[in-house]
Structure 1
Amino acid sequence: MSPLPHELGGSSLWDPRFGAELCTILRLLGAADLSLARIFEGHVNAVGLVCRYGTQAQIEGLAGSVRDGALSAVWGADDAQGLRITPERDGNVLKGRKILASGAGFVTRPLVTASAPEGQQMCLLDLEIGYAHDTSSWQAQGMRATATGTVDFTGRRITDRERIGAPGDFMRQPHFSGGAWRFCAVHTGATERLVDLFREHLNSSARGEDAYQLERLATCVADATTARFWVEDAARRLAVEDDPESIVAFANLTRMVVERSALTVMETVQRGIGLRAFVRPHDVERICRDLATYLRQPVPDRAMSDGAQVFLSSSRSAGDF
């Protein structure tokens, strides 16, 4: 319930004004289990979209479902055909499927995107437990517990009550790209946990006085802390700044910083611990496997170049950017 508004029994974590609190929660969840954190982050994202663009009745309806134990998620990935809203003589129906749908099979209030004659439309669905889904193709190296799969919606009728917002709202800035700080917070939490585990290894193996190991540890602490500072600032900017372009640019650069920090920490911790870091059921093996998979977010190079382009065309100094 925590992402929902206070007046509906939540803690309003969907609201950017509570970004600092949400950042802490996402870091802690990321440190504990990245698959769990992925499911929760998607739930927060979906609730936020409904609260931002939906009607009061739609928000209250979702709150009631969540109060009864339902989870939401954002299912936006399409195959080549894509999910579409097709007008028919007796109403509109969905045709197509969603792929890479995390929580397939147990998320019952997903927010899906579908193409319509007037543009991309968000729809908040209410699915019955036991709906058809397929997770057999989810054979990724990590993040297996997210139950990511495919859900076919062909033939399902769609009503105006299920449409959230106006066409195009889903990708409206700065929230579409600016909200990337949330999954960056999850990545940062896992990165911080790796540093803690490395310290535990050095203490338990009496290798804490080794100069090379101390150098590795120092590098890891610096990288994890850098990632956290960037993520916390990206969350703050989304809440207080009024320049969408600069908010998005900073979030895009945050993605780059967090990814590089995580990759450096993973490699450094694995080198410092050695073979045991690659053998199950070691926590480092699990976290690195999941984190390496979760870090693969869409269009990282374009996000980096878009952020740099905004700075290139700006007259502000790097210290003020």
Structure 2
Amino acid sequence: MTEDLSSDTLERLRLPADPAAALTRLVEAGADRVPWPAQGRTLMRWRALAEVAAHDLSLAKLYEGHTDALAILAELHGPAVPPGSRWGTWCAEPPAARVAMRPEEGCPGAMRLDGRKAWCSGAAGLTHAIVSVHDEEGRACLAAVSLRQPGVRVSDEGWEAVGMAASASVDVHFDHALAVPIGKPGDYVSRPGFWQGGAGIAACWWGGALGISRQVLALAAQGAKPDAHRLAHLGAIDAALAGGAAVLQQAAHWIDTHPADDARRVALNARLVVEQSAETVLRHAGRALGAAPLCRDARFARAMADLPVYLRQSHAERDLAALGQIVFDQRSAAWAL
């Protein structure tokens, strides 16, 4: 396991600008060996995700997918991870992009995959992936697949957005590709790690807001002494980050002390609070600095374009409704200080 992954550590690694190459550097340095969720150091795991996100959100998309894949393989006793391998976790299920899994005749335990998978972040630079698939009975399953084999074609299609463009989230086509099943049908969403990992996504969102906030502070210090309006925006940013950090700390503690429990309510709370705090940072960052850095500072402009796209991993009002249903069904709000 890696120690705390700080901004200084990332600077020392001299990460390449290309997210796939940067992920390779992180893997080679052992910086992907973060603690598993619910093992007593969940907050340390999330701090690593947040720091990578503060550095580069497209890299964070790949890093989070890779570390999530390693955690899934550990939790569901999947195949061994080859040294130096770089994994994706591709489990989006749009209706028009599904992958079928069929047994390989004469080879017990082996499967063949056919179909198209959408939103495969970093596909061209990865070596392996965990993908959600459907077996012959239509049940949702997970499979581990090597991407360096005949029958796997990484396209250049499926992403038109400016934000998160460097994540290279494209469509991948499987044509009788060899794979290994992971766990039992339904394990992906029924295991405790599903919502524990879902809460970790919020650490990436918070890290993206942190990176923007650091840049706002640095840019604000370059000119004349900030006026009251700019200081007010900095104050709003500080309060938003503090609120998001507090709920993440609370969620990490709950997960570590309830490792086998359903973390759905905790995860939804964390995601929704952090989403709001990140949107607050976005709003005040632009207003604090005006148009100049959005037009003339490439890193700041990219982060401001990336974060709104990354935040749409949230299901917005659907998640709010899901959380409200949980509160209503449980008849126990547990609202206390």
Bin of the TM-score, shorter chain as denominator length: 0.7 to 0.9
For these two proteins, the number of residue pairs brought into alignment is: 303
1:31–1:192 contact (8 Å) kept in structure 2: yes
Counterpart code for 1:99: A
Correspondence for 1:146 = 167
> What is residue 137 of structure 1 aligned with on the other side?
158
Distance 1:292 1:315, change over 3 A: closer
Query: Deviation at 1:175?
Result: 2.3
* Aligned 1:45-56 pairs, distance under 5 A: 45-55=68-78
Runs of 4+ that moved beyond 3 A:
8-12, 86-92, 242-245
Q: In structure 1, the residue corresponding to 2:303 is in which secondary structure?
A: helix
Moved more, 80-89 or 119-128: 80-89
CA contact (8 A) 1:106 1:129 kept: no
Q: Relative to structure 2, which stretch is displaced further, 218-227 or 139-148?
A: 139-148
**2:125 equivalent in structure 1:** 106
State the identity as a percent.
26
CA deviation map 1:112-146 (0-9, x unaligned): 11101342111111231795211233221211111
How far off its partner does 1:193 sit?
2.2
In the alignment, what sits opposite 1:82?
A: 98
Name the counterpart of 1:121.
141
Deviation of the 1:314 alpha carbon: 2.8
Aligned to 1:194: 212
Q: What SS does the corresponding residue of 2:331 show, helix, strand or coil?
A: coil
Q: List alignment gaps of at least 5 residues for structure 2.
A: 4-29
Q: Distance in 1 between matches of 2:327 and 2:317?
A: 16
Question: Is 1:175–1:238's contact at 8 Å kept on the other side of the alignment?
Answer: no
| Distance in structure 2 (CA, Å) of the matches to 1:243 and 1:52 | 11
Question: Quick check: 286-295 or 175-184, which moved more?
Answer: 175-184
Q: Give yes or no for contact 1:115–1:121 (8 Å, CA) kept in 2.
A: yes
Deviation digits for residues 127-166 of structure 1 (CA, Å, limit 9, x no counterpart): 31795211233221211111211111122244xxx11111
Q: Which amino acid aligns with 2:222?
A: S
Which digits, 9 at most, give the CA deviation of each residue in 1:18-40, with x for residues without a partner? 21211111111111111111111
Work out the CA distance in 1 between the residues paired with 2:244 and 2:115. Answer: 39
Give the whole-Å Cα distance in 2 for the aligned partners of 1:87 and 1:16.
33
Do residues 175 (structure 1) and 196 (structure 2) align?
no
- CA 1:251/1:262 → structure 2, altered by over 3 Å: closer, same or farther? same
- Describe how 1:272-287 pairs up with structure 2 within 5 A: 272-287=288-303
Question: Deviations along 1:258-289, whole A, 9 cap, x unmatched?
Answer: 11111111111101101113214343211111
Is the contact between residue 50 and residue 206 of structure 2 (CA under 8 Å) also seen in structure 1?
yes
Which amino acid in structure 2 is aligned with residue 299 of structure 1?
H
* Distance change in 2, residues 1:93/1:197 (3 Å): closer
Q: Which whole-Å CA distance do the structure 1 matches of 2:303 and 2:97 have between them? A: 34
Instruction: Find 1:22's aligned residue among 27, 32, 45.
Output: 45
Supply the distance in 1 between the matched residues of 2:76 and 2:301 (Cα, whole angstroms). 41
1:298–1:256 CA distance, 2 compared to 1 (3 A): closer
Q: TM-score, normalised by structure 1?
A: 0.86
Distance verdict in 2 for CA 1:172–1:280, change over 3 Å:
farther
Do the aligned residues in 1 keep the contact of 2:154 with 2:173 (CA within 8 Å)? yes
Which stretch shows the higher mean deviation, 262-271 or 296-305? 296-305
2:244 is the alignment partner of 1:227? yes
Are the aligned partners of 2:37 and 2:196 in contact in 1 as well (CA < 8 Å)?
Answer: no
Q: How does 1:30-49 map to 2 (within 5 A)?
A: 30-49=53-72
Rounded to whole Å, the distance in 1 between the matches of 2:249 and 2:141 is: 31
Q: Partner residue of 2:85?
A: 70
Q: Compute the displacement of 1:228 (Å).
A: 1.2
Matched, 1:251 2:267: yes
Q: Could you tell me which amino acid in structure 1 is paired with residue 72 of structure 2?
A: L
User: Structure 1 residues 207 and 283, CA, compared in 2 at 3 Å: closer, same or farther?
Assistant: farther
1:288-321 C-alpha deviation (Å, 9 max, x unpaired): 111111111152322222222222333354117x
Residue 10 of structure 1 and its aligned partner are, at CA, apart by: 7.8
Note the residue ranges of structure 1 that are not aligned, 5 or more in a row. Answer: none
